[in-house]
């Protein structure tokens, strides 16, 4: 679909802009405006559409990419545009192959790794202001468009209603345009980074406070351990010994978190450790938030468009031992796991009865192979329930679990 191609271009070009704006800042200041980003995206999309009709015409159209050099104001801009032209040509003729849901998720995860690396580098290089002023708008556009792309592919997996997809993408497109416009305003970017900075400071204070508390507790524990050993040797009580020698912590000054942070800032090693820990926490939170938005199940498909089970759901248990028996009363609230467990048992039953099951077999392949050995109606009903729970949006419930188990019992008769 053309809409998905354009959204993918927006996503890919935004990560390229974010990366180049930051890396080129080490040799100079990039002066290109956000309009250049939109022009590049539109030109790549236009060249891609022309290439579908005539590859020669696409080569002719790509000459127009050289017009972008008119926007250059500095040598750094010239280098940036040179990279963009090369990247655009590659994208048009090589980089826009077919992708699906699983590939979109993989590309999103790689993009998150790139963003995390940029943030860590900015922390060590002390140039976070470049991220704030140059790269941040494109980072946010990447996150938004990547999530749109993933949700669109997910919708197409279970719903062929293009009208609904168009309606959703129009709504998302409005969000992207609004974000692009809002992030182009310096005051908005400053406010966003101020909020992020406050969150960062709170996390730093929390980590420092925890470390401080742990060290005090460990110190007290060591102090009492030493006193205990001395008490045994000198035949005194621990209380008397501590009272006579005094506590090692009597002269320890109690610092608040602000004072501790000031002390840590004087130490390069502690500062690096704290910054890395906080950055990891922020990106873990961001990563889980994005996964929640995408409702990510990592589903692959084969060429015929059928479902392909993830390997963990069809491999044998360790040492080929018999799985422990799971009953409904102990699986309350986890009926999807219960259904998956009995689907595994069904596949083992197939193997026991001479049905060859390969790792790449889909549920349809398994049903087709086993229909001569078992009741076809029961196998088909089990497959319907399993697919609805495993690949659909619905979660398992007690009724489906009981029905699935009853169908499984019929197969063993």
Strand residues in 263-353 grouped as ranges (E): 300-301, 307-308
Residues 127 and 28 in one domain: yes
Q: Examine residue 26 and state whether it is found in any structural domain, yes or no.
A: yes
Residues 382 and 367 in one domain: yes
Residue finishing a domain among 294, 311, 343:
294
Residue environment code for 3-21, b if the CB has 16+ CB neighbours within 10 A, otherwise e: bbbbbbbbbbbbbbbbbbb
Q: pLDDT value at position 72?
A: 80
Q: Examine residue 386 and state whether it is found in any structural domain, yes or no.
A: yes
Domain that includes residue 91, residue range: 2-184
Residues 55 and 172 in one domain: yes
Query: How many distinct structural domains can be found in the chain?
Result: 3
Residue finishing a domain among 131, 164, 184:
184
Residues 166 and 37 in one domain: yes
Give me the residue label for tokens 């069809």: 314
Q: How far apart are CA 176 and CA 179, in angstroms?
A: 5
Read off the tokens for 275. 């910054």
Q: Is the dihedral of CA 204, 207, 211, 214 positive or negative?
A: positive
Q: Examine residue 159 and state whether it is found in any structural domain, yes or no.
A: yes
Q: How far apart are CA 240 and CA 245, in angstroms?
A: 9
Read off the tokens for 371. 């229909």
Instruction: List per-residue pLDDT tens for the chain, 413 residues long.
Output: 677 788 888 888 888 888 888 888 888 887 776 788 888 888 888 888 888 778 778 878 878 888 888 878 888 888 888 888 888 888 888 767 667 777 787 788 888 888 888 887 887 777 777 887 788 788 888 888 888 888 777 766 655 555 665 666 666 666 666 666 666 566 776 777 677 767 767 776 777 777 777 777 777 777 777 766 766 666 666 566 556 655 555 544 555 555 555 655 565 666 666 666 666 766 666 566 555 544 434 444 443 344 434 433 444 444 444 444 444 444 445 777 788 888 888 888 888 888 887 766 778 888 888 888 888 888 888 888 888 776 555 566 778 888 888 888 888 76
Residue finishing a domain among 184, 215, 249:
184
Q: Which helix (H) or strand (E) holds 6?
A: helix 2-23
Residues 137 and 285 in one domain: no
User: For residue 39, how many other CB atoms are within 10 A of its CB?
Assistant: 17
Q: pLDDT value at position 305?
A: 40
Residues 267 and 310 in one domain: no
> For 254, phi and psi rounded to 5 degrees?
-85, 120
Residues 305 and 403 in one domain: yes
Residues 136 and 61 in one domain: yes
User: For residue 52, how many other CB atoms are within 10 A of its CB?
Assistant: 8
Residues 164 and 41 in one domain: yes
Q: Examine residue 64 and state whether it is found in any structural domain, yes or no.
A: yes
Tell me the chain's radius of gyration from C-alpha atoms.
30
Residues 307 and 249 in one domain: no
Residues 178 and 61 in one domain: yes
pTM check: above 0.75: no
pLDDT tens for each residue of 219-263: 777 777 776 676 666 666 656 655 665 555 554 455 555 555 565
Q: Which helix (H) or strand (E) holds 75?
A: helix 75-90
Q: Examine residue 190 and state whether it is found in any structural domain, yes or no.
A: no
Q: pLDDT value at position 227?
A: 67
Q: How far apart are CA 214 and CA 118, in angstroms?
A: 32
Q: Examine residue 189 and state whether it is found in any structural domain, yes or no.
A: no
Q: Examine residue 322 and state whether it is found in any structural domain, yes or no.
A: yes
Residues 16 and 111 in one domain: yes
Q: pLDDT value at position 311?
A: 38
Q: Examine residue 265 and state whether it is found in any structural domain, yes or no.
A: yes
């Amino acid at each position: 679909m053309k809409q998905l191609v354009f959204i993918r271009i927006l996503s890919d070009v935004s990560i390229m802009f974010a990366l180049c704006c930051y890396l080129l800042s080490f040799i100079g200041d990039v002066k290109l405006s956000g309009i250049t980003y939109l022009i590049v995206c539109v030109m790549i999309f236009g060249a891609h559409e022309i290439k579908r009709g005539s590859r020669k015409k696409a080569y002719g159209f790509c000459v127009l990419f050289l017009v972008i050099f008119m926007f250059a104001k500095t040598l750094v801009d010239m280098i940036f545009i040179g990279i963009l032209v090369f990247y655009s040509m590659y994208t048009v003729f090589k980089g826009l192959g077919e992708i699906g849901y699983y590939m979109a998720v993989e590309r999103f995860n790689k993009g998150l790794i790139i963003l995390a690396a940029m943030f860590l580098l900015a922390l060590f290089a002390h140039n976070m202001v470049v991220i704030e002023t140059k790269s941040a708008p494109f980072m946010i556009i990447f996150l938004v468009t990547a999530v749109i792309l993933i949700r669109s592919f997910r919708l197409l997996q279970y719903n062929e209603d293009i009208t609904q997809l168009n309606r959703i993408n129009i709504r998302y497109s409005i969000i992207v345009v609004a974000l692009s416009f809002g992030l182009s305003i310096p005051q908005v970017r400053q406010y966003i980074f101020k909020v992020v900075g406050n969150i960062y400071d709170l996390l730093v204070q929390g980590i420092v406070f925890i470390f401080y508390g742990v060290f005090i507790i460990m110190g007290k524990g060591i102090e009492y351990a030493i006193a205990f050993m001395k008490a045994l040797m000198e035949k005194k009580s621990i209380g008397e010994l501590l009272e006579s020698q005094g506590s090692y912590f009597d002269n320890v000054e109690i610092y608040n978190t602000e004072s501790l942070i000031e002390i840590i800032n004087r130490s390069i090693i502690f500062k690096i450790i704290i910054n890395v820990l906080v950055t990891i926490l922020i990106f873990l939170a961001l990563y889980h938030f994005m996964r929640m938005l995408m409702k990510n199940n990592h589903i692959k498909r084969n060429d015929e468009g059928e479902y392909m089970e993830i390997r963990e759901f069809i491999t044998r248990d360790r040492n080929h031992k018999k799985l422990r028996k799971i009953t409904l009363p102990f699986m309350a609230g986890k009926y999807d796991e219960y259904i998956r467990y009995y689907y595994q048992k069904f596949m083992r039953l197939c193997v026991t009865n001479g049905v060859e099951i390969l790792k790449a077999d889909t549920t349809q392949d398994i049903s087709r192979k086993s229909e001569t050995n078992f009741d076809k109606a029961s196998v088909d009903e089990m497959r319907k329930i399993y697919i609805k729970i495993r690949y659909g949006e619905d979660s398992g419930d007690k009724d489906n679990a009981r029905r699935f188990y009853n169908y499984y019992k019929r197969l063993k008769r």
